[in-house]
Amino acid sequence: MHSRHLIDLTDLTLPELEEITQLACDIKQNIDSYYGICRGKILATLFYEPSTRTQMSFQTAMLRLGGRIIGFDNPANSSVSKGEGLKDTIRVVSGYSDIITIRHPVAGSAKAASLYSRVPIINAGDGGHLHPTQTLTDLVTLRVEKGTFSGLCIGVCGDLKNGRTVHSLIKALATFPNNKFVLISTPSLGIPLYIKDYLSASGAEWIETNSLAEAMPLLDVLYMTRIQRERFASESEYISQRGVYILDKDKMSLAKKDMIVMHPLPRVDEITVDVDDDPRAKYFEQTEYGLYARMALIIKMTEHSVKKLEPVPKGENVKCSNPDCITHRETYLPNTFVKNGDLLVCEYCEERTLL
């Protein structure tokens, strides 16, 4: 892989995406033949936020490759509870492991971790920002279930504002030709501006709607998401948004016969359980493909050797305008931006600040 870290799926070139998803499909067919590829290697899983599938599939992936695992799934049981910053934890753990996967509640945390790591960092979800390995899982699902990443009409429904899986998925699928997006949400949980800009720049067609029923007949893929309760400022705000979109048997009857339903899980109430028996429901298969996707990714990323840490360059004298950006929590981080016209795009969380 040309990039050392996987912070955003854009760190992979299209041929690399092709290669990793193809490898995942081969692993699916011949999983036992991959045992031993990572013998002697250690994966650290640093989970500052709850997780079932992502954490366990990473751990299973490394164990199935013959490697070993260390880590924490509750920062309260680590030195984080004593006030240790991200930089110090990462410097230490990158001396103990060959590859690190990190999930953290703050946008930009994985990018921040990559600055202080001697080994590759994989972003397993940074706040409401991105979740590239879920997207890799989703791409393997599309490869197996639809046979293509192109020419699809993809509906994404639910909490498009805070759902990091949706942000990564749209960024990835917009790079393939002839995909159309139907963004289904309430106005207050709409997709962030930076993703809309990304979509428009890619040339992909997209529309916004608040009606799941009206969108159903158009779709080749429906990607449902839960309302991200933990990212709301207040419980009453969450209550006002929950239960708006529920996929049930009646709505499924409006869909194409070969449409597929995906969901990163966990599901709360946005898909009724009777939909699980519909052959178009692929969300449990999707969790299994996540294992193969992560095995393929670990194989590719452990090809990088341990690197000597270079001093981190100084940043700008401008602060990111997003109060939830990691640069406001870990204040030693250099403020770095990419210029886009009269905007500065934060390199950690992608929020835009006016020059």
Residues of this chain that interact with ligand NCD (CB under 6 A) are 53-54, 125, 131, 134, 164-165, 225-226, 264-266
Per residue in 139-150, is it b (16+ CB within 10 Å) or e — as a string? bbbbbbbbeebe
For 145, the 3-state DSSP assignment is: helix
- Which residue has the closest beta carbon to ligand NCD? 264
The one-letter code for the residue type at 206 is W
Smaller CB separation from ligand NCD, 36 or 266: 266
Which of residues 54 and 117 has its CB atom nearest to ligand NCD in the complex? 54
CA gap 105, 49 in Å, rounded: 6
Nearest approach, Cβ of 297 to ligand NCD (angstroms)? 14
CB-CB contact of 318 with 287 (8 Å): no
User: Closer CB to ligand NCD, residue 55 or residue 322?
Assistant: 55
Q: Which of residues 218 and 325 has its CB atom nearest to ligand NCD in the complex?
A: 325
Half-sphere exposure of 324 (CA within 13 A, CB side): 14
Nearer to ligand NCD, 67 or 158 (CB): 158
In the complex, the smallest distance separating the C-beta of residue 304 from ligand NCD, rounded to whole angstroms, is 24
> What whole-number distance in Å separates Cα of residue 225 and Cα of residue 29?
29
Q: Which residues contact 37 (CB under 8 A, 6 or more apart)?
A: 65, 66, 299
Cβ-proximal residues to 33 (8 Å cutoff; 6+ apart), any chain = none
Read off the tokens for 160.
């498009």
- Angle, helices 283-301/53-64, rounded to nearest 10 degrees: 50
| 84/106 Cα distance (integer angstroms) | 16
Beta carbons within 10 angstroms of residue 221's beta carbon: 23
| CB 103 to ligand NCD: min, Å | 7
Nearest approach in angstroms of CB 165 to ligand NCD is: 5
Measured from the CB atom, is 62 or 115 closer to ligand NCD? 62
Helices and strands in the chain: count of H runs, count of E runs: 12, 12
- Smallest distance from ligand NCD to CB 163, Å: 6
Reduce the DSSP state of residue 265 to 3 states and report it. Answer: coil
Q: Which is nearer to ligand NCD, 45 or 225 (CB)?
A: 225
Cβ-based nearer residue to ligand NCD, 55 or 327: 55
How far apart are CB 54 and ligand NCD at their closest, in Å?
4
Shortest CB 158 distance to ligand NCD, Å: 9
- In total, the chain counts a number of residues equal to 355
